[in-house]
A and B are shown apart, each in its own frame.
Chain A
C-alpha cells in the first residue's frame, strides 16, 4: 500500500518532468500513434489486394496487430527505462547506485525514473486498431469477448514488460545493453501480428511455450474472432494464457534479482 502510493508519486514526478515541454510531448505522442496507424493501414491494404493470410482477412490481422502494438505501448510507458540502450546508460553512468541506496524496491525506482508518455499514444491507437479490426471482422461485442480482449491486452503488456526486464537483467551482467532483447520485444510484437498459422511448427512452439506472445495475442484472438487455431495451438489454450504469463513474469523477476546481486557498478 505504502509502496503503491510512493510509486504513484514517483511516476507523477517523472510525468511532471516530462510535462515541462508539453508541445514536444504532444507531438511525440501523436507521432507514436500515427506510426501504428500507418503500419496497420499498410498491412490492411496489402491484404485487401492479395486476399488473405492463411485464411485471415484484413480485419482479423488488424486485430492481432492492434493487440501487439497496444501491449508494447503500455509496457514501454514504464518499461522504457529497462530497454537496452537506456538501461545500459543508466548502469554505465552510475545512476543506478543512488536508486539502490533508496529504501524502496529497485525495480519500482528504475521504472519510475522516467516514463515514456509518447508510448501511450502507441497503446491507445493499438486498442483503436483492435476495435477497428473486430468491427471489420464483424465481431459482436459480448461481455465474454470484451473480457478475453482485456485479458489479451494485460497479458501482452506483461510479457513485453517481462522481456524488457530479462534484457535489463542481462545488462546487469554485461553492462553493455544487448540489442538482442529488442529482437524479442519489437520482433515479438511484430511477429505476433501474423497469425501463427503462417509459421513453422518450431516457431509456433517458441511463441507459445518459450516467449508466450502467441498465448497472449493469437489464442485470445481465436476466441474473439471465432476461429480455429493452427495445429498445436487450439483456442482451448486460453486457460493457460494467464498462468503462462505469470510464470514468464516470475522467471523475469528472478533473473532481475539475480542480476542485482551480480551488479558490479562502475567507476571508482
Chain B
C-alpha cells in the first residue's frame, strides 16, 4: 500500500539547509495499523505530508496505493483520508451536516452511498445531536469525532492521523481508539497514526516505526521496543540471608530485606553472565528479570533519549523475544 525508498526531504532557507527526513525505506501492506513515533522535529509530520502529497520529496521514490503523491496529488487525495488533530478540515461557521455534505461533493460520493454511510458513522461516533450545530460550537472531543467522520466518509483506503487524541479526555480518547480499531478491522483500512500518546500506540498499533533525526531507528513490533531500546534492565535477587551484595557490571538501585534490585546494561554484561556472577557471590533463593515497559521506552523516545540500536532491528516475527538477549551495540 505504501512503498518508500530513500525518501528524503530537505528544507532550504537563505543560508541554511536542514534535512528533515534523511532517506527512509518503508513498506506498509494493505490493512496494517502502523504507529509512527519520534521526538518533536524528528521528521514525523514531514514524512506524513510527503505520503499525502502535501510536500514534494527532495529525493527518493514513493508510491501510495500505486500513485506518486507529489505528481498525482488529486487522484491520491480521493483515495486517502487525513485527520490533522490541530487543524480542522471542517467548515467552522456552518452546521456540521453542511461539512459532511460538502465532503460528499468534494469526493464525488453518490448520494445514496453517502446517506447510508453517514448514518452509520453518525451512530458509531455519536454525532447525531451535533449535526445542526456550527462546528465552532463543538467541544474538542465532538470536533475530533466529526473530523474522523469527515475523513472516513469517502471510504478511504489509507487513513493518516496526526495527533487525533491530542487534548481529549480519557473517555473521548477511548471513543476515538475504539472507532479506529473497528475501522481497521471491519473495512481493512490501512492506518498510519502519528501520536504523542503512548496509549494510542500500545492499544492500536501492531507495528511501530520510530524516527529520530530524520532516520528510521525502529521498524517492528511494538513489543520489541523494550528489548531494543530499554537501555537498562533490572535483575531482582532474593538472597537466602540479608547480606551485602556487590557484583561487577551491575548497580544496586534498591534494597528491601533480603531482596536486591540490580540495574545493568545489556551492552556491558549479558543477563546469563550477570546471573552467573550473582550466583558465585551469594546464596540465592530466587531470581527475576524485570523489563522496562513499553510506555516507559516510548516516553524516552519522545524525549529524544533513545539512540539508534545496532544492528538494525529485525523485522517482526523473526526470533522470539528473549532468544537474543544481548544485541551488540555500537551506539551513535
Which residues of chain A have a CB within 8 Å of any CB of chain B?
A: 2, 5-6, 9-10, 13, 16-17, 20, 93-95, 97-98, 100-105, 261-265, 267-268
Smallest CB-CB separation from B74: which chain A residue? A103
- Closest A-B pairs by Cβ, 10 of them: A17-B93, A103-B78, A103-B77, A98-B89, A101-B82, A100-B54, A268-B45, A6-B105, A261-B56, A103-B74
Q: Within the complex, what minimum Cβ distance (angstroms) separates A44 from chain B?
A: 40
Q: In the complex the two chains form, what is the Cα distance from A13 to B93 in whole Å?
A: 9
Number of interface residues of B (CB under 8 A): 37
A17 and B108 form a contact (CB under 8 A): no
Cβ–Cβ contact A13 & B102, under 8 A: yes
Name B36-76 residues within 8 Å CB distance of A: 40-46, 49, 52-56, 70, 73-75
Q: Which residues of A contact B40 (CB under 8 A)?
A: 268
Quick check: B102 and A17 within 8 Å, CB to CB? no
Q: Please, could you name 15 A-B residue pairs with CB atoms under 8 Å apart, sorted by A?
A: A6-B106, A16-B93, A98-B82, A98-B87, A100-B52, A101-B52, A101-B54, A101-B80, A103-B75, A103-B78, A263-B54, A265-B49, A265-B54, A267-B45, A268-B46
Question: Which of chain B's residues have a CB closer than 8 A to the CB of A103?
Answer: 74-75, 77-78, 106-108
Shortest beta-carbon distance from A58 to chain B in Å = 44
- Which partner residue on chain A sits nearest B147 by CB separation? A98
Render B75-116 as a binary contact track against A, CB cut-off 8 A, 1 for contact: 101101010101111011110001000100111100000000
CB-based contact A13/B94 at 8 Å: yes
Inter-subunit contact A102/B105 (CB<8 Å): no
Partner of B91, one of A5, A6, A17, A105: A17
B87 touches A100 (CB 8 A): no
A213 vs B93: C-alpha distance when bound (angstroms):
37
User: CA separation between A188 and B43, bound complex, in Å?
Assistant: 43
- A102 CB contact (under 8 Å) in B77, B87, B93: B77
A9 x B105 contact (CB < 8 A): yes
Q: Which residues of A contact B91 (CB under 8 A)?
A: 13, 17
